[in-house]
Structure 1
């Protein structure tokens, strides 16, 4: 009986995009250079009609009702991010991974399998990386699912937006334009062509989405073809929890 090939981890998918990621950095720098040569543009008034909350000024002393949890996603994502991860299906066993510790993936672990670990580490740290909640499970003989919720701190950097754009560009370089995830402003999924490199599971599907300061990264690997409905369903159900 031949030994089973080692499973390809979803972490590799994220880190391999470092070349595309550095391309995004270069493009951003070029944009800043062009903007620096332009005359300054007057900013619109900060107080714009229809953008304030509450919409109309209230009498002094009036108590303002806070936003509902559904209206303010940070009410959820500022808590224990691990609780927002999809639960593995009943009867399916957890797949221990060396980059996951108690449901978290510290930045050093998260970038340790990169082709350029220090470069990737520095880039994500520069984007105000905050934390990653991760889960991984085995389903059937050679069917692995990895889910990562990558969160960035609030600040001048738009880390989640930049990471989502980089990884989307990288996935498109492998599999063309992704299919849009239903009810998602920024979310796509792919089922890539089989890659029969020795030592790796050949079939791979991926979903990426951005929701506020969190990037959802879902990867499925299998020895057999993966249905588009499976990765799409996982992505939709994961987004419902954010």
Structure 2
């Protein structure tokens, strides 16, 4: 008779191990309990200028220090080299200059006795001799039969700065301009070859110490002659001068109750003198009349 197999033995029940005894928590003090009872706030922010601690340790060495040291060394070397060079050069004997190409002087070592020197230039050879003398002697002579004009000078052939400036449209402005240009003197002459014609000649001389004032005054007077309110044309070149021109006005000056006034003008410069010639007539003026006067006056300068 068969018997049932024995049941497997049941596993023994696991008995839990006893927990170790916990140490008694320390009794906090009264102040500590109050601190633990309050909620912890956020930590204070670090200063704005304070760099992070982690980056301070990883920052590489400054390259500027090396460049600065090299620059200082180069500068010291340059200064030292220059100082040494000057010192060596100062200790050397001076180098003699090469002999002159001209063995003898072209002028005598001692002044010549009186009467043996070269003769001074004449007025024909040196125009400065003429212009530094009596300027009135360079004016054209009054033609025979011509009468003295009402446009006579202020004092025996001379015209003052103020008298000359009053003959322009803006006397005060012209006075200031001529004074700044170092005006020296003005020689003038005027005559009437006929009852209807008047001729006026002025030689305006400057002290040209800093600039060519005579040339500037000439160019300023020529600059507006082509305007309709004046000659109305460019004029014609005056033979024998590099900058002289003569003009005949296109239209006469007409005023109620007066005869028409025709005008012609010549302007030129030579050296420190500005030449200014006018012709006034109640009838048209031929170009040859003003041209002939200007050429003859220019020859005397």
Structure 2 length normalisation: TM-score? Answer: 0.58
| 1:59 corresponding residue in structure 2 | 107
Pair 1:206 & 2:265 matched: yes
Q: Partner of 2:60 in structure 1?
A: none
Question: Bigger radius of gyration, 1 or 2?
Answer: 2
Q: Distance in 2 between matches of 1:115 and 1:59?
A: 55
The equivalent residue for 1:90 is 144
Residues 113-134 of structure 1 show CA distances to partners (whole Å, capped at 9, x for unaligned) of 4332221101001001011100
Matched, 1:72 2:126: yes
* Distance apart, 1:71 and its partner CA: 3.9
1:38 maps to none
1:79-121 per-position Cα deviation (integer Å, ceiling 9, x unaligned): 1111110011101111132653210100011112433222110
Partner of 1:39: none
The alignment yields a C-alpha RMSD, in angstroms, of 1.9
Q: Please name the residue that 1:220 is paired with.
A: 279
**Cα shift readout 1:136-164 (whole Å, capped 9, x = no counterpart):** 11121210100000000130032101100
- Distance in 2 (CA, whole Å) between partners of 1:64 and 1:85 is 31
Return 5+ residue gaps in structure 2 as ranges: 1-104
What is the correspondence of 1:10-159 to structure 2 with a 5 Å cutoff? 58-61=106-109, 63=117, 66-97=120-151, 100-159=154-213
The DSSP-based 3-state class of the residue aligned with 2:289 is helix
Check 1:115–1:105 CA distance in 2 against 1; reply closer, same or farther (3 A cut). same
Higher relative contact order (CA 8 A, sep 6+): 1
TM-score, structure 1 as length reference = 0.71
Instruction: Give the secondary structure class of the aligned counterpart of 2:288.
Output: helix
Is there any run of 5+ residues in structure 1 with no aligned partner, and where? 1-56
Aligned to 1:34: none
How many residues align? The count is 186
